[in-house]
């Protein structure tokens, strides 16, 4: 029996839009999250090391830039970057990935910095007593312990980035939520598309959250 025209849920529309949502979820949303997270993990560690080991003449400007990025909205950064870079970069998705990565670099840098500060003082003293080069001290002693202590927090920021990918619509990237809205405006059926988009976000983020919690307990 077919649903009434004014029925709040129509399985035909749900089945019709689901493959496009799933495809776009993997092709755009997941790719943006994975690449943005990798960028933030690398840049965040570099920024944390710079802030921890450089003189004020370098540390000061880096700290100011980090605070500026962290205190301005992600949407504003996306729009500004798109206006400035779109004449030179063909891909709005590439711009979005860089903005997401740099935005979350500022948060992950703070997490790394806390992890570095949590390394016992004796570890630094032991490395000095063994006359280890500074680069090797960071690579072999400090960074492995700091990363181990910060993995759960870094994972939580990766999930946050995943949930903020819908903001990419402001620079016309056809991510998951954007596809749902376009389907709704074309077929005048928003409920199915938006609900399924939310369920896809939930299905991807909730198991990851449970995994991070388990990892946090194991590391504790």
Supply the DSSP symbol for 3: P
pLDDT greater than 80 at residue 30: yes
Question: Within 13 Å and on the Cβ side, how many CA atoms surround 18?
Answer: 9
- pLDDT, residue 6, reads 53
- pLDDT, residue 204, reads 85
DSSP 73-97: -HHHHHHHHHHHHTTT-S-HHHHHH
Q: Which residue has the higher pLDDT, 127 or 91?
A: 91
Domain boundaries, the chain: 19-219
CATH superfamily for domain 19-219: MetI-like (1.10.3720.10)
pTM of the model: 0.85
- The string of pLDDT tens digits covering residues 51-97 is 888 888 998 999 999 999 999 999 999 999 999 999 999 899 999 99
- Residues 20 and 79: beta-carbon distance below 8 Å: no
- The string of pLDDT tens digits covering residues 170-219 is 998 888 888 898 998 988 888 999 999 999 998 888 888 888 888 777 76
Q: Which residue has the higher pLDDT, 130 or 65?
A: 65
- The string of pLDDT tens digits covering residues 131-154 is 778 788 888 788 888 888 888 889
**Cα-based angle 102, 105, 109 (whole degrees, multiple of 5):** 155
Q: Helix H segments across the chain?
A: 11-24, 31-53, 56-70, 74-85, 92-117, 121-129, 134-136, 143-164, 176-187, 191-219
pLDDT greater than 70 at residue 4: no
pLDDT greater than 50 at residue 3: no
- pLDDT, residue 75, reads 95
pLDDT greater than 60 at residue 1: no
- pLDDT, residue 118, reads 81
- pLDDT, residue 72, reads 95
- pLDDT, residue 119, reads 81
pLDDT greater than 90 at residue 157: yes
């Amino acid at each position: 029996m077919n649903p009434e025209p004014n029925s709040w849920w129509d399985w035909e529309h749900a089945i019709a839009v689901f493959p496009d949502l799933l495809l776009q979820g993997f092709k755009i949303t997941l790719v943006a999250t994975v690449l943005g997270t990798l960028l933030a993990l690398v840049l965040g560690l570099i920024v944390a090391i710079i802030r921890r080991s450089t003189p004020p003449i370098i540390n000061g400007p880096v700290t100011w830039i980090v605070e500026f990025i962290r205190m301005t909205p992600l949407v504003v950064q996306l729009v500004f970057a798109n206006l400035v870079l779109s004449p030179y970069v063909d891909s709005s998705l590439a711009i979005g990935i860089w903005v997401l990565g740099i935005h979350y670099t500022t948060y992950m840098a703070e997490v790394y910095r806390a992890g570095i500060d949590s390394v016992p003082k004796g570890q630094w003293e032991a490395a000095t007593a063994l006359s280890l080069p500074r680069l090797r001290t960071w690579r072999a002693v400090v960074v492995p312990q700091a990363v181990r202590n910060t993995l759960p927090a870094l994972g939580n920021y990766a999930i946050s980035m995943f949930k903020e990918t819908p903001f990419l619509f402001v620079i016309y990237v056809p991510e998951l939520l954007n596809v749902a809205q376009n389907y709704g405006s074309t077929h005048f059926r928003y409920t199915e598309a938006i609900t399924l988009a939310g369920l896809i976000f939930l299905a991807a983020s909730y198991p990851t959250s449970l995994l991070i919690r388990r990892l946090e307990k194991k590391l504790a």
